[in-house]
Chain A
Amino acid sequence: MFKYIVRRVLQLIPVIIGISILVFMLVHLAPGDPIRLLLGEDATPEDYARLQRIYGFDKPLHIQYLTWAGNALQGDFGVSIRQGAPVTMLIRSRLPATMELAFFSVLFAVIFGVPLGVLAAIKRGSVIDLSSMVFALLGVSMPGFWLGLVLLTYVALNVGWIPMFGRGGSVFYGFGQLFTTFSADALYQGFRYIMLPAISIGTAMMAIITRLTRSSLLEIMGKDYIRTARAKGLAERVVVFKHGLRNALLPVVTVVGIQFGAMLGGAVITETVFAWPGVGRLIVNAISQRDFPIIQGGVLMLAIIFTLVNLAVDLSYAFLNPRIRYD
C-alpha cells in the first residue's frame, strides 16, 4: 500500500511538468506579439525593448520556460500586466472562494444525489424512480451557468434573503464563529451567498451521482450475498444500507473525482454569473484584458488542484477497495 502511494505521488511529477509546458506554450500560440498587444499601436521602440526585457521575451523559448517554471515552483507566477500586482497574491486571495464553492457543490451533489439514487433503486419502476431518472437526464443536459441564471431570475429575485451576486464571507469561518462565539450570523451570511452558486455547479454532478447510485445499487442488490443477508432474516433496511449501499458507493467515489474536473471548469463560467470572487472569475476577467500571466497562473493552479484531487480519489479508492492491485 505504501509503495503504491509513493509510486502514485511520483507519477505526479511528469504530469505537472507536462501541464506547465502546455500552459506556458499557450501564450506563445497567441497570434501576434504579446508586447505589441500590451503596448498598443503607438509605443516607442524603447518602451518595446524595455517591456521585452522585463517579461524576458528577448530570450530563447526554452530559457523563458525554465525561468517561468523555476519561478512558478517557488510560488512566483509573475506580475499581472494590467493590475501590477503579483499573480500569486491575486490567486491566493481568490483561491479560498473557489475551493469553498467547489467543496459545497460536491457536498450538495452527494447529499442529495445519493439518497435520491437509493430511493429510485428501492422503489424501482415507481413514480419516484421515473421522475428521478428524468431529473438525472435533465441535470446532465443543463449547462450549470444557465441554471445559475434561472435560479437568479426565479429564486434570488423572489426570495428576499437570497442575494444575487457576490460572496458573504467564508462558511467555514462561519462555523468557527458558531462554535467559538455562538453567533450564527457569519455562518448565515456565508451560507445565503454560496447556496445558489453551489446548486448551479453541483446539479450536473448530482444528476450523475443519482443515476450511478441507482444502477450500482440495483446491480449489487442482485448479488448472492444480498440474498444470503435476506435469507438470514435481516431487516430490509439493514440489507440495503449495510450490505448494499456500502458496496454500491465505490463507483460513486470514482465518479466524484472524474467529475470534479468538469465541475472546476464549469465553475469558471458560473463564478462569472454570480460575480463570485474566485479564481475562475479572475481568469475570465484577465482574458478580456489579455493579462497572460494571470491566465497562465490561474489555469496552472486549477489544473494542479484537479490533478491532486484525482490523486486523492485514486488513493481513497485503493483504500476503500482492498481488491485493487497495487502494482
Chain B
Amino acid sequence: MLRKIAKNKSALVGLILISILLLVAIFADFLVPNDPYHMDIWISYDPPQWFAPDSTYILGTDDMGRCVLSRIIMGSRVSLLVAGIATATSLVFGVGLGAVGGYVGGRIDAFIMRLMDLILSIPSILLAIAIVATLGPGVVNAMIAIAIVRIPQMARVTRSMVLSIKEEDYVQAGKALGFSHTRILFKHILMNCFAPILVVATLGMGTAIVVEAGLSFLGLGAQPPIISWGRMLAMGRQAIRSAPHLTLYPGLAIVFTVLGFNLLGDGLRDIFDPQLKKD
C-alpha cells in the first residue's frame, strides 16, 4: 500500500502534508514559539517579521497581542479533532445505514435512502449552520452537525458497493454455507468496500475542515478560549485594514490542510480504481 502511495505523486504529497499537520497538532505544546494564550495589549497588531524585521513574533500578533503563529499551531488541534471525530461518526452511521439498506433491500432500504436524499436536498453548510443554530454553538454541536451532513454520502457509496458485492459468488457461497447475516455483511461484504469508503472519508475530511472553519467563523463552532482557525479569521476580519496578517495566515493553514486531504483522496482513488484515472 505505502509503495503504491509513494508512486502516486498526488497521494504522496497529500500524505506528506497531512503527516506534517498531524505531527504539528500532536506536538503543538513543544512547537509553539510563544504562549498562545498570553495577552499583552501593548504589543497588539504587531506585523509579521518579514514586514517588520525587529518584530519578535514571526507571524505577528493579534488584537490581544497574542502570538499568531503559536495560535495557528494550537488551532490545528481543534480543526483536525472536530473534522476527524465528525468524519469518523459519519463513517459509522453512514456505512451502517448504507450496508443495512443495500443488504436488506426493500422498504427499509427505500426508507433509508429517501432519508438520505432529504438531508442532501438542503445545502450541507446551510444545514450544518441550521443544526448548530438550534443546538447552540460549541465544539460538540459542530461535530454533530458536520457528522449529520456527511452521513448521506457515506451511506450512498456503501450501499452501491454492497449492492454490487452482494451478488458475488463468494457471498452466495457464504449464504449457502449457512453463515449468519452479520458475518456475511461484515466479513465478506464490508471488508471489500474498504477502498471506496476510504476515498470518500479522506475527501470528506477536507469538506469537514471547511465546514468547521465556516461554523467557527460565524461564532458557532469552538468558543474561546479554545483556539480555532475559523474564529481567528472572524477576529481578523475586524482588523482587516490595520492587520491583514490576521486573516491571511490562519486561512493559509486551512487551505494547506484541505489541500492535503484532497490530494490524498484523489491519489487514493487513482490507486484503488485505475479505470477512473483519466490520463
- What per-residue 1/0 map shows which CB atoms of B69-102 lie under 8 Å from chain A? 0000000000000000000000000000000000
- Choose one: B114, B214, B258; the contact of A141 (CB below 8 Å): B258
**Is B218 interfacial (CB-CB < 8 Å)?**
yes
The 4 nearest A-B residue pairs measured at CB: A265-B125, A265-B123, A146-B251, A141-B258
Q: Which residues of B contact A142 (CB under 8 A)?
A: 251, 254-255, 258
Q: Would A143 and B251 count as touching, CB distance under 8 A? A: yes
| Nearest-neighbor residue (CB-CB) of A290 within chain B | B133
With contact pairs A137-B262, A295-B133 given, residues A19 and B122 touching in the complex (Cβ less than 8 Å): yes
Chain B interface mostly? helix
Q: Would A18 and B121 count as touching, CB distance under 8 A? A: yes
Question: What are 26 A-B contacts defined by CB distance under 8 Å?
Answer: A15-B117, A18-B117, A22-B122, A26-B130, A26-B131, A27-B134, A31-B136, A137-B259, A137-B263, A143-B213, A145-B217, A149-B247, A261-B122, A261-B123, A262-B124, A263-B123, A265-B125, A265-B129, A268-B126, A269-B218, A284-B218, A287-B133, A290-B133, A299-B126, A299-B130, A303-B121
- Choose one: A137, A215, A288, A306; the contact of B122 (CB below 8 Å): A306
**Is B167 interfacial (CB-CB < 8 Å)?**
no
**Is A277 interfacial (CB-CB < 8 Å)?**
no
Q: Which residues of A contact B210 (CB under 8 A)?
A: 143
Contacts from B to A (Cβ < 8 Å): 114, 117-119, 121-127, 129-131, 133-136, 206, 210, 213-214, 217-220, 233, 236-237, 240-241, 244, 247-248, 251, 254-255, 258-259, 262-263, 278-279
Number of A residues, CB within 8 Å of B: 51
Q: Which residues of A contact B240 (CB under 8 A)?
A: 149, 152-153, 157
| Nearest-neighbor residue (CB-CB) of B130 within chain A | A299
Q: Would A303 and B126 count as touching, CB distance under 8 A? A: yes
What distance in Å separates the Cβ of B130 from its nearest Cβ neighbour in chain A? 5
What distance in Å separates the Cβ of B261 from its nearest Cβ neighbour in chain A? 8
- Choose one: A124, A150, A306; the contact of B123 (CB below 8 Å): A306
Chain A interface mostly? helix
**Is A138 interfacial (CB-CB < 8 Å)?**
yes
**Is A283 interfacial (CB-CB < 8 Å)?**
yes
Q: Would B214 and A145 count as touching, CB distance under 8 A? A: yes
**Is A23 interfacial (CB-CB < 8 Å)?**
yes
CA distance A10 to B152 in the complex (A): 23
Scan residues 16-61 of chain A and give those whose CB is less than 8 A from a CB of chain B. 18-19, 22-23, 26-27, 29-31
**Is A184 interfacial (CB-CB < 8 Å)?**
no
Q: Would A146 and B131 count as touching, CB distance under 8 A? A: no
Q: Would A23 and B130 count as touching, CB distance under 8 A? A: yes
- Choose one: B247, B258, B259; the contact of A153 (CB below 8 Å): B247
Q: Would A287 and B136 count as touching, CB distance under 8 A? A: no
What distance in Å separates the Cβ of B279 from its nearest Cβ neighbour in chain A? 6
Q: Would B254 and A261 count as touching, CB distance under 8 A? A: no
Q: Would B279 and A218 count as touching, CB distance under 8 A? A: yes
What distance in Å separates the Cβ of A270 from its nearest Cβ neighbour in chain B? 9
| Nearest-neighbor residue (CB-CB) of A279 within chain B | B126
Q: Would B262 and A140 count as touching, CB distance under 8 A? A: yes
What distance in Å separates the Cβ of A287 from its nearest Cβ neighbour in chain B? 4
